[in-house]
Amino acid sequence: MGHYIANLRDIEFCLFDLLDRDSILGTSIYKDIDRATAMGMLEEIKRLAEKDLADSFVDGDRMGVDFDPATGDAKLPPSFIKSYRAYIDNGWGLIDAPVEVGGTLIPPSLRWAIAEMVLGSNPSVHIYASGFSFAHVAYALGNEKQKQLAKIMVEKDWGATMMLTEPEAGSDVGAGRSKAVEQPDGTWHITGTKRFITSGDSDLNENLIHFVLARPEGAGPGTKGLSLYLIPKFMFDFGTGALGKRNGVYVTKVEHKMGLNVSATCEMNLGEKEPAVGYLLGDVHNGIAQMFKVIEFARMMVGTKAIATLSAGYQQALSYAKTRVQGGDMKVMNDKASPRVSIIHHPDVRRSLMTQKSYSEGMRALVLYTASIQDAIAIAKADGAPADKVDDLIALNDLLLPIVKGYGSEKSWTLLGTESLQTFGGSGFTQDWPLEQYVRDAKIDTLYEGTTAIQGLDFFFRKIVKDGGRAIGLLAKEITKFADSGGNNVDEKKALVKGLEDANGIIAVLIGHAVASQEKSDEIYKVGLNTSRLLMAIGDVIIAWLLLREADIAAAKLPTATGKDIDFYNGKIASSKYFVYNFLPLITAERAIVEAENGAIMELSESAF
């Protein structure tokens, strides 16, 4: 067995007990999928993830990317290529491809449950396979020729990249300088330099399609002036996909990183050696809106990757704690003759394990709950539901994405280092165990596709203020309805209401500062100092809500449970209570901090830091 242990029991519980995915299977656009089919897919990906994909996890890290600066070509370890081919050749990339060009239609909830196991086992396999999801964008937004390109991308397993970042612009995408000039034949020549481009080159695919933001000649400043171009590594025949000459897009550098080393993060030059020929997506200049179709998918993926890694870290820590014998029981620690015990008997280790368990299972529920909203959007659109219902679902999904990405990545990174690795003591700091690689690989999740700070700003200004509080109000209504439902865990549900009240209190204070900034501009700093704090608080409320819902279900099933299910359900109840009493009270303190914010550090001289 490799390093990875999938938690399929909890995935199944989330999908079918918590989220009742049985209710959508066999209906509407998912009429051809039943529970048995879904579970068969999950069981097969579990087997693939734990063996074929996990096999090259360490090799990918130790060997990394072999880059030839003379040719601009990147090569990957043979063992990793074998893992990638096992994923693609078994048809798993097709779950992201358009049905119209040979893709497999499954609910997003099932799709992201599958992705968790791939991302937890060997995340770069999933990342390199993104050509299928990019093909979806080309098909949905492209002209007829670009729809044909999408078909070729799927049939021939062509890779893809998203090119936003530039060396000087960084996260300020609108400051990008890459330029596009239209040619008489309707193509465009693009010039510029892009940085931090994931999967910029490899020997996995015969061709790559780069989705590149550039500013057409004469376009205005900022993000509104950007357009999205499809730039192939090799020119090709749109009818057959046959490759032609090399296009003018080259890797000039592969970054040396602290983790995720088999993922080629590249600096790319466009148009220096020969013209970089590109095609305007959909023949329309609407680049940033089009690219956000890719960005939204990428943010969901990043959050799922982070949470999957935390789950893997917890499974490793739990296994180690059950077998590592060290010290005596604390009750008799002064008795040197007392028997030595496994470290799971020590109180602080149990505290750590329950912290890992509650967060990893709660954030899995967060990912799959968000995916269930995506299920509902797809069904509502297919069934012709009223526009206001579709709009509400889209707004709720938009609200949840920065929580999945920002909260999920931040909590996972922190817990992997401070709890999962810590469980191993000094052994965790060695390469004898996978934890140090998990920690290194997971750090990028808080950084790319928008840092945690950017997610916090997006969450408050776009998903709450610009939305007029609609989505956050819908979510709060659902949480309150559950909290008022009575039944089990009455005291814990009261604590949930208190946590929600405090989180809403933080929102109210920040809105007050935002309004005040219209008269006194410095007031906006008080918002900026606390948007990440708000993101974390709302994340904790949602996790508590989902864990308590799971606990109610577990309590109902427990009287008739047998075998391992008894421990599973008791664990669900225990982790929900632990989370509620250990983490929800902290939101009260966070609210007090926000209410006391005076923005003083923004007035401090730079030299005082």
Average pLDDT over residues 67-95: 97
Catalytic option among 166, 449, 550, 590: 449
Find the range with the poorest average confidence among 174-178, 275-279, 561-565, 593-597. 174-178
Longest CA–CA separation in the chain, Å:
88
Average pLDDT over residues 427-436: 97
Q: Confirm if 55 and 2 have CB atoms less than 8 A apart.
A: yes
Q: Please give the mean pLDDT across all residues of the chain.
A: 96
Backbone angles phi, psi at 77, to 5 degrees: -60, 140
What is the structure's pLDDT at 285? Answer: 96
Q: Confirm if 428 and 435 have CB atoms less than 8 A apart.
A: yes
Residue 277 has pLDDT above 70, yes or no: yes
Average pLDDT over residues 237-250: 97
Distance CA 56, CA 124 (A): 10
Q: Confirm if 398 and 406 have CB atoms less than 8 A apart.
A: no
Give the gyration radius of the chain's Cα atoms: 25
Q: Cβ contacts of residue 594 below 8 Å, gap of 6+?
A: 505, 506, 509, 510, 530, 533, 534
Distance CA 260, CA 305 (A): 12
Residue 308 has pLDDT above 70, yes or no: yes
Residue with tokens 């204070």: 509
How many whole angstroms from its chain centre is CA 389?
26
Residue 312 has pLDDT above 80, yes or no: yes
- Total residues found in the chain within this entry: 609
Residue 518 has pLDDT above 90, yes or no: yes
- Domains, the chain: 8-136 (1.10.540.10), 158-285 (2.40.110.20), 469-601 (no CATH)
Distance CA 255, CA 44 (A): 34
Q: Which amino acid is at 198?
A: T
What is the structure's pLDDT at 257? Answer: 97
Q: Could you report the per-residue pLDDT of 530-582, keeping only the tens digit for each?
A: 999 999 999 999 999 999 999 999 999 999 999 999 999 999 999 999 999 99
What is the structure's pLDDT at 135? Answer: 96
What is the structure's pLDDT at 1? Answer: 63
Which among 372, 350, 425, 508 is positioned nearest to 17, based on CA atoms?
372
Q: Cβ contacts of residue 460 below 8 Å, gap of 6+?
A: 507, 510, 527, 531, 534, 535
What is the structure's pLDDT at 278? Answer: 98
- Known catalytic membership, residue 155: no
Q: Could you report the per-residue pLDDT of 175-230, keeping only the tens digit for each?
A: 889 999 999 999 999 999 999 999 999 999 999 999 999 999 999 999 899 999 99
What is the structure's pLDDT at 335? Answer: 78
Distance CA 328, CA 336 (A): 8
- What six digits make up the tokens of 305? 């990757």
- Kindly list the distances between the CA atom of residue 381 and the CA atoms of 28, 111, 290, 422, in Å, as whole numbers in the listed order: 11, 18, 19, 47
Dihedral sign, Cα of residue 200, residue 201, residue 205, residue 209: positive
